[in-house]
Each structure stands twice: as structure tokens, then as C-alpha cells.
């Protein structure tokens, strides 16, 4: 399993690129899951909820606690 910081950085970079290219929204550092979802208010509620759920699921798989990692985005 990769180091937590390493996979978080890869996830952050990938998510930033996808959101920027598909939706034209620049994500910023020091945000938690819910802030990220709110920041994406240009998306539908369903899309922002799905992004939040993916972040929580990946974090839970890697840390065992979906709420333990803050500021990944």
C-alpha cells in the first residue's frame, strides 16, 4: 500500500485536473470533503454528492476512517 501522503497527492492532482477540465472549477488546497462538494455548486447536486462519496470511500479504504483525512483537496 502506498504511503498515505503519496496516494492523497495523486488523488488530489487527478481530481483537480478532472474538475478543472470538465467543469472549469479550480479546486484549492485545505478543503475538506463537504467544502469541496459545496465549491462545485456549478455541478448538479447529484454530481457533487458522487464526488464526495468517492473521496470518502477511497479514504476509508486507505485509512479505515472516511472522516480521518482532511485537507486533501
For residue 17, what are the domain limits?
4-63
CA 27 centroid distance within chain: 9
Here the cell at position 48 is 457533487
Quote the CA–CA distance of 21 and 60 in Å, as a whole number.
Answer: 27
**Which pLDDT score is estimated for 13?**
76
pLDDT, one tens digit for every residue, the chain (73 residues): 455 567 667 777 777 777 777 767 666 655 555 666 666 665 666 776 777 777 777 777 766 665 555 544 4
Residue 72, in any domain of the structure = no
Give domain status of residue 69, yes or no.
Answer: no
The set of residues, in sequence order, having a beta carbon less than 8 Å from that of 12 and lying 6+ positions away, is 27, 72, 73
> Is residue 71 assigned to a domain?
no
Instruction: Report the pLDDT value the prediction gives residue 1, as an integer from 0 to 100.
Output: 47
Q: Which of these, 51, 68, 65, lies nearest to 11 by C-alpha position?
A: 51
The answer to whether residue 26 is domain-embedded is yes
What's residue 60's pLDDT? 73
Domain assignment of residue 36, yes or no: yes
- 73 is a domain residue: no
**70 is a domain residue:** no
pLDDT score at 21:
76
Number of domains in the chain: 1
> Is 68 among the domain residues?
no
Amino acid at each position: 500500500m502506498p504511503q498515505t501522503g503519496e496516494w492523497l497527492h495523486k488523488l488530489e492532482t487527478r481530481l483537480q485536473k478532472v474538475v478543472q477540465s470538465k467543469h472549469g472549477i479550480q479546486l484549492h488546497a485545505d478543503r475538506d470533503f463537504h467544502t469541496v462538494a459545496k465549491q462545485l455548486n456549478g455541478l448538479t447536486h447529484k454530481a457533487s454528492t458522487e464526488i464526495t462519496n468517492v473521496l470518502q470511500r477511497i479514504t476509508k479504504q486507505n485509512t479505515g476512517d472516511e472522516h480521518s483525512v482532511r485537507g486533501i483537496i
